[in-house]
Structure 1
């Protein structure tokens, strides 16, 4: 069930406040105890995100461990994001959207072709964004490090038959989710550039990232 919870944090006390353009990747290291707020500025924007242990990136977000630990498929306030080693990476501490997807995966050249049309193959995709961000960072990570991700603000209902559908978002302008880092984490984001499904109303838009130190 959705667990709506507003945050008491004041953006004027933040140590980082980033306006992220539509369709662009973002890579950042969070220290243990810091809190990240992801803000859906215009509504219905999917923010595809993967988290890694910053000191050992072979430990990374695990969709299956997270769902098993919480006994449900959607993410919201109170969800602990688990690693592939069964350890907590982050905890969702506030959420004004209500639920977030971790089943739909990230768009890629291959999925653009299968879902839409052969000529869509070379459109921008989240997978390409991930790879570009990692290549530019030059930290020894690449294709093998891309794992099933979280789609913040994305609406992917599960049908009675067990299938997935991509529907209009349940978010709105100004909705946000906050996550507290339970260890030092590397945050890899693709502010989804997808133009072919309603995950972002066929219109990629900017988002905002705000970070507070542990004591705030």
Structure 2
């Protein structure tokens, strides 16, 4: 199971998912509530998103991976879903002060072009820019309104519900060093991608694969 981040959708995994499938897995891609082809809602609380996972997915999956917002949802659902292993890619646990999410809209309210979006997302390939634009254009923008947004810090439990790998950027704002230390002492495995940034599976694909390889 692969769970995307905020304003994304299941298509964000178009490079990582085939690689995981090559290891013998059947890969399930999730569109979280308000994203992609999933339904819009009046509620986008963290527990709502986690509850959707619990209601729609089987218990005991071999592996569950969540990025950013997906890492928050997975963390809240892990004890009920009971995957054999959980992987958190830059999970959105500690929310940086002043976090803002600005949709790529022109002043007239129309969506930017891929070329315009490239200025905002340096380093993204053309394919990933097209994917990001498709995803955000189907995203329910009311998610970014109160009471859902701004997001609140949501710390993981003192002990992991299942064997858990946390893969973080260098440095990470959402899993800062002091939290990394606490997690390692509590039984989580923590790996840092050197010079990595928040979009690990997009901008640092090969390094992310190396971090995941022995967990597959």
- The structure that is helix-richer by fraction is 2
Give the TM-score, by structure 2 length.
Answer: 0.27
Give the TM-score, by structure 1 length.
Answer: 0.27
